[in-house]
Amino acid sequence: MFRISIIFVSLVLANPHRAHGDDSLPSWNDTTSKKAIVAFVERVTKEGSPDFVPAPERIATFDNDGTLWAEKPVPFQVLFAFARVKALAPQHPEWKTHEPFASLLKGDMNGLAASGEKGILQVIAATHTGITTDEFTQEVQNWIATAKHPKTGRLYTGMVYQPMLELLAYLRANGFKTFIVSGGGVEFMRAWAERVYRIPPEQVVGSSGKLKLETRAGKLVLIKLPEVDLIDDKEGKPVGIQTRIGRRPIAAFGNSDGDLQMLQWTTQGSGVRFALLVHHDDAKREFAYDRADRLQRLDKAWDEAIAKGWTVVSMKNDWKTVFPPTR
Amino acid sequence: MFRISIIFVSLVLANPHRAHGDDSLPSWNDTTSKKAIVAFVERVTKEGSPDFVPAPERIATFDNDGTLWAEKPVPFQVLFAFARVKALAPQHPEWKTHEPFASLLKGDMNGLAASGEKGILQVIAATHTGITTDEFTQEVQNWIATAKHPKTGRLYTGMVYQPMLELLAYLRANGFKTFIVSGGGVEFMRAWAERVYRIPPEQVVGSSGKLKLETRAGKLVLIKLPEVDLIDDKEGKPVGIQTRIGRRPIAAFGNSDGDLQMLQWTTQGSGVRFALLVHHDDAKREFAYDRADRLQRLDKAWDEAIAKGWTVVSMKNDWKTVFPPTR
């Protein structure tokens, strides 16, 4: 019996299609959300079942901000942009008197907010373009290795959600290919997504600007231009999925109205589909915000989730822990 | 000993990183080209060696037309467009008197050629846009299942190169992720690349138009618009690689000047890199064309290959067979 057990355990460990939800999602409480995830995965991976989906078609797409990691007080990429404005300010004395930079440098967030979307785009252009893709990646990696969240004091990569890390691994162990499909900048996320989420660059879809190939010192470089290529949010998400992945997901995961079209696109495919929204209802361990939030609203998508029977995760009730143990 | 042999054989078969070039490339003659491929693969996959590259970074990119399948008399996607013009003509009586459609419908290729790039773009717009992505995929699949090449009488998918199919499989068996990076239309190629090359849609990068999300009969659809998104040729290839893959390849494969920048981008990365050009010098078994060709010129890239020591495959001398056995 001992010998047989050893062999059985080895088989279970060796066979990626045999990972069980009960063991693989330890940070999830045993509530309806976890049960719905496990039931879906078991349905589509059971060979011979009418709901079986071949592994190459097991595409799962995840929003990033608010779905895989926190997004308050503002998406962390915005904080990266602010840090870069401060770092670049000595080279731009004119910013002291020009909005939105003047407000930003004085720490006047109301003044910055008053500059609206146009102001934000100016900050993005000043901090995300005019440099090579390799230089940008290095800047992101330098920042994310050291910058700390103003409220928790954690590294930003320490504010990923432990239950979602387990969910990503559980899906991959069941033959799924996991993608990020986020409104965040694609090159910002790719700089650390492989290390943190085990999602390689080619499986990260995000908002992007145009690039230009140039020769510098005899070598080719790609320059980031201040022209929008794709806004990977709302109706842009199915566009990003089709142009970058080329296959409709069978499962999609989000947390706000910006994810609604991705969840609709996913669930309108034929066969069994799965859609999940993370509801931020845990002011104590994370943040609480939904319909009334100005930046990351969960309103229409929530209504549709209720109407369509999508899974809505309560962070407060469904998750045993929110963040990974601090390192 | 018998038992040990069995275990050894099982390990070799089970371990994807142990496939050997000598067995895996049967359609390649034992010339310098094959030796260069195998030497490169063995260098980057040998653990502990200074040239070792971890599997996730083993990105290999392949041009399609002229590199993985034939491209004469014109790229096959052009023949698909012509077939669609003929099929759509009854709905467009005005085409009888409007160029470039009038020439095309009369089979007057000189008249069509006289319409130049503008004419070709009009044909592409008329045959590739204004329909949903799902409808377009279906049209491509219908055509490619039945249309035959004017010279060989083969299905177009029967004009893929057997040695390149083996090369794709050999690289994958050694932990490489194989991508197409082609000037051809991304949705045209994705419609059959997985079946023919075992390259899934998310690993196909190509030229593309913009898409628009609309609701039809209560369901979301993506409409193909007549606006260019990416021309994935020449300097567009490194742009396509960076925006879609996000990681520099360590090996790249092409056949014409349209691939030069991809090969430069690949070989200018640090560490061991591999670049290969297929030279069409086999008029008897395929086609012969290079520096003087009007459509698919191999000139500057050839010069650079010689100067840099890239591998130049002679189809005539390096390949035992060109096309797969007819089915």
Per-residue pLDDT of A112-157, as tens digits, reads 888 888 888 899 999 999 999 999 999 999 999 999 999 999 999 9
Cα separation of A267 and A67, whole Å?
Answer: 18
Return the closest-CA partner of residue B187 out of B240, B132, B242: B132
| pLDDT of A202 above 80 | yes
| Preceding amide of A100 cis, omega within 30 | yes
Question: What secondary structure does DSSP assign to B12-45, as a single string?
Answer: HHH-GGG--HHHH-TTB-SSHHHHHHHHHHHHHH
| Count of alpha carbons within 13 angstroms of residue A128, beta-carbon side | 26
Q: Environment class of residue A7 by beta-carbon count within 10 Å: exposed (0-12), middle (13-18) or buried (19+)?
A: exposed
Phi, psi (rounded to 5 degrees) for A107: 75, 20
> Which residues of chain A make contact with B203, given a CB cutoff of 8 A?
202
Nearest residue of chain A to residue B194 (CA atoms): A56
Interface of A with B in 143-202 (CB under 8 A): 177, 179, 186-187, 190, 194, 200-202
Q: Are A190 and A137 in contact (CB under 8 A)?
A: yes
Residues of chain A found within 8 Å of residue B189, distances taken between Cβ atoms: none
Structural Rg of chain B based on CA atoms: 21
Indicate whether B61 pLDDT > 70.
yes
Exposed, middle or buried: residue B9 (CB in 10 Å: 0-12, 13-18, 19+)?
Answer: exposed
CA distance A130 to chain B (A): 15
Q: What is the pLDDT of residues A26-67, one digit of tens each?
A: 999 999 999 999 999 999 999 999 999 999 999 999 999 999
Longest dimension (CA), chain A: 78
Report helix, strand or coil for A230: strand
Predicted confidence (pLDDT) per residue in A165-180, tens digit:
999 999 999 999 999 9
Q: What angle do CA A177, A142, A295 make, to 5 degrees?
A: 65
What pLDDT is stored for residue B17 in this prediction? 46
Q: Positive or negative, the Cα torsion across B109, B111, B114, B115?
A: negative
**Three-state SS across B83-114?**
HHHHHHHHHCHHHHCCCCHHHHHHCCHHHHHH
Q: Which A residues, 39 through 98, put their C-beta within 8 Å of a C-beta on chain B?
A: 56, 59
Q: What pTM value is reported for the model?
A: 0.92
Which residues on B lie below 8 Å from A222 (Cβ)?
238-239, 242
Rounded to two decimals, the ipTM of the complex is: 0.92
- The DSSP call for residue A259 is G
How much is the average pLDDT of A190-200?
A: 98
- Which residues in chain A are closer than 8 Å to B240, comparing Cβ atoms? none
Nearest CA to B205 out of B240, B165, B250, B236 is that of B240
Range A195-205 average pLDDT: 98
Distances (CA, A) of B213 to A4, B131, B216: 55, 12, 10
pLDDT in tens, B111-121: 888 888 888 88
Reduced to 3 states (helix: H, G, I; strand: E, B; else coil), residue A14 is helix
Q: Is the Cβ pair A244, B59 closer than 8 Å?
A: no
Mean pLDDT value of segment B157-181: 98
Give exposure, B167-182, as e/b (b: 16+ Cβ within 10 Å).
bbbbbbbbbbbbbbbb
A204 touches chain B (CB under 8 A): yes
Checking if the pLDDT of B130 tops 70, the result is yes
pLDDT (mean) for B19-37 = 87
